[in-house]
């Protein structure tokens, strides 16, 4: 992906996430079909990281990403986002280094503090306060970057510690770190201090604009140029021939706290330009018509040319 350009990534389902119609018996085939189409138009693929949401059918995200990496040799590979609490950061550092070597440097490590309390409790994972989870996330990033750049390395934090640990191979290049989330007091401070990319999730443009102003304040406080942080946005898009058809298909998702986009191709071009004017340069798009691919084709034929 080129710095300063507008890039589009495809965010396929890892299972049931309340958007698409998933058929477990055909999911692998349906996923491959959608990815085959998306690989012609998108510069990156992004997978999410939940081990269970209720009783829904769900794949483990990193395994799915490795499968994607092997099938599609040109796309950048990202996570939106890996939950720090699910894997010790020393283990995730090794996983990331391995994929970076085998994919020839295509990994972007998306990382987050976790947020689905019921998922934690069902799996027996401690669920401390949001502030503590963010502290753990930050230490996780520090552990991983130490293992990626120093060997042997020692790190002693409040939550994690390693001693004379050897990270071999050390990835080259070191994966960029994307932090997902938008808490204004602690999370965006962590972005200002530690992220190469900030990922926001399907908020309206005015909300993104406000969050970016808060992020700039944190950057000023820590002495960082905010232009060194790339801004990404994850957005489900219902794109149809007319506004009315898209809104009907999206239903209540249009009016939720994190609203999906619903409209025509022309309206989507206009909305994406609104985000781009705010500073968003990497869009991770989910297409809820899956396993149907009409909306993927419509985006490629009627929206993408406006950004080339």
In which domain, by residue range, is 111 found?
7-307
Tell me how far apart the alpha carbons of residues 63 and 297 are, in angstroms, rounded to a whole number: 27
Phi and psi at residue 108, in whole multiples of 5°? -120, 115
Q: Report the CATH number at residue 83.
A: 3.20.20.30
What is residue 43's DSSP assignment? S
With respect to residue 79, please indicate whether it lies within any of the assigned structural domains: yes
149 has a pLDDT exceeding 80 = yes
Number of domains into which the chain is organized: 1
The tokens describing 204, both together, are: 């309206």
With respect to residue 1, please indicate whether it lies within any of the assigned structural domains: no
Q: How far is CA 149 from CA 38, 143, 146, 166, 235, in A?
A: 34, 10, 5, 10, 33
With respect to residue 90, please indicate whether it lies within any of the assigned structural domains: yes
pLDDT tens digits, residue range 179-212? 999 999 999 999 999 999 999 998 999 999 999 9
pLDDT tens digits, residue range 86-132? 999 999 999 999 999 999 999 999 999 999 999 999 999 999 999 99
168 has a pLDDT exceeding 80 = yes
pLDDT tens digits, residue range 218-257? 999 999 999 999 999 999 999 999 999 999 999 888 877 7
């Amino acid at each position: 992906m080129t710095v300063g350009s507008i890039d589009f990534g495809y965010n396929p389902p890892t299972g049931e996430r309340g958007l698409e119609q998933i058929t477990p018996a055909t999911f692998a085939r349906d996923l491959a079909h959608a990815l085959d189409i998306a690989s012609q138009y998108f510069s990156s693929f992004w997978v999410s990281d939940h081990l269970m949401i209720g009783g829904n059918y769900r794949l483990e995200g990193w395994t799915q990403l490795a499968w994607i990496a092997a099938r599609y040799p040109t796309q950048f590979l990202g996570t939106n986002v890996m939950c720090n609490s699910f894997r010790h950061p020393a283990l995730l550092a090794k996983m990331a280094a391995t994929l970076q070597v085998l994919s020839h440097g295509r990994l972007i490590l998306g990382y987050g503090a976790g947020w689905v309390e019921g998922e934690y409790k069902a799996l027996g994972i401690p669920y401390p306060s949001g502030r503590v989870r963010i502290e753990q996330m930050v230490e996780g990033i520090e552990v991983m970057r130490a293992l990626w750049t120093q060997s042997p390395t020692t790190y002693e934090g409040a939550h994690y510690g390693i001693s004379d640990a050897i990270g071999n191979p050390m990835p080259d290049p070191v994966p960029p770190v994307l932090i997902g989330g938008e808490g204004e007091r602690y999370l965006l401070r962590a972005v200002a201090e530690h992220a190469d990319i900030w990922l926001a999730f399907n908020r309206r443009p005015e909300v993104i604009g406000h969050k970016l102003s808060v992020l700039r304040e944190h950057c000023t406080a820590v002495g960082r140029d905010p232009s060194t942080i790339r801004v990404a946005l994850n957005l489900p898009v219902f794109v149809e021939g007319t506004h009315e058809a898209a809104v009907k298909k999206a239903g209540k998702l249009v009016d939720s706290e994190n609203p999906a986009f619903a409209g025509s191709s022309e309206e989507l071009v206009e909305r994406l330009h609104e985000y781009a004017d705010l500073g968003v340069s990497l869009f991770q798009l989910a297409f809820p018509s899956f396993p149907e691919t009409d909306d993927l084709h419509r985006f490629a034929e009627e929206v993408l040319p406006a950004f080339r």
